[in-house]
């Protein structure tokens, strides 16, 4: 599960960079994305604790 999230993080960050956003902005955006994804995964799999949460 954490490996999958690492791949998603890389893809998401690369996508933001390709849009020309700064690292600081992408960091903030990814933080919001990560919180949304984490709550989504916790809804689907409440017994799984995701790394970094």
Reported as a single tens digit per residue, the pLDDT across 5-47 is 788 888 877 776 666 555 455 555 556 666 666 666 666 665 5
Whether residue 52 lies inside any domain: the answer is no
Whether residue 11 lies inside any domain: the answer is yes
Whether residue 50 lies inside any domain: the answer is no
Number of domains in the chain: 1
Whole-prediction pTM? 0.30
Whether residue 23 lies inside any domain: the answer is yes
Whether residue 30 lies inside any domain: the answer is yes
What six digits make up the tokens of 43?
Answer: 């809804």
Length of the chain: 53
Helices 23-44/2-18 angle, 10° precision: 150
Whether residue 53 lies inside any domain: the answer is no
At residue 47, the pLDDT reads 58
What whole-number distance in Å separates Cα of residue 12 and Cα of residue 34?
10
Tell me the residue range of the domain where 15 lies: 2-44
Whether residue 17 lies inside any domain: the answer is yes
């Amino acid at each position: 599960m954490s490996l999958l999230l690492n791949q998603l993080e890389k893809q998401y960050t690369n996508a933001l960079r390709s849009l020309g956003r700064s690292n600081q902005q992408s960091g903030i955006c990814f933080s919001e994305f990560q919180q949304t994804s984490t709550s989504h995964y916790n809804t689907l799999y409440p017994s799984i604790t995701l790394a970094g949460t």
